[in-house]
Amino acid sequence: MKNRLRLLCMSTLLILSGCVTFPTDESNQVNVIWDNEAALKDCRYIGTVLGSEGHFYDYWLHADSDMVWGTLNQMRIKVTDLGGDTLYLYQPLGFSSSVTMLGNAYDCRPMTQDE
């Protein structure tokens, strides 16, 4: 009975923990900029994005670097969903059991004659 309860608890924890977000082919093309506002001078702002990995109940199952990587991947995916190609990051928000970042999505591609 004790073994079944342990197995049930561990299974539940693993299911709740999920996994780290992986990039898509499109999101791999997103440029990430930090602390360089001059790089955005010819860009068009298209929205704010938020990314977060880790929870109070499973953060110890993931390395910090994996949570940072997953958070950036989430944000890059959101940038592509908005039609952007550049992510401008702000300083990460301070949490002890997760990684949460805030940034802005931009379209920095040169405008064509049709636009």
pLDDT in tens, the chain (115 residues): 676 666 554 544 444 445 667 667 888 889 889 888 899 999 999 999 999 887 555 555 556 667 778 889 999 999 999 999 999 998 766 666 677 889 999 999 987 655 5
Six-digit token pair at 74?
């989430």
Residue-level pLDDT at 108? 94
Rounded distance, CA 91 to CA 75, Å?
A: 14
Residue-level pLDDT at 12? 47
Rounded distance, CA 109 to CA 3, Å?
A: 58
- Whether the model clears a pTM of 0.85, i.e. scores above it, the answer is no
Residue-level pLDDT at 42? 92
Residue-level pLDDT at 52? 84
- The domains of the chain, with CATH numbers, are 2-107 (3.30.110.70)
- What sign does the dihedral 53-58-60-61 (CA atoms) show? negative
Residue-level pLDDT at 14? 45
Contact in structure between 76 and 104 (CB atoms under 8 Å) = no
Residue-level pLDDT at 95? 60
Rounded distance, CA 115 to CA 8, Å?
A: 57
Contacts of residue 7, defined as CB under 8 A and 6 or more positions apart, other chains included, come to none
* The CA-based dihedral angle spanning residues 22, 27, 28, 33, taken in that order and rounded to the nearest 10 degrees: -110
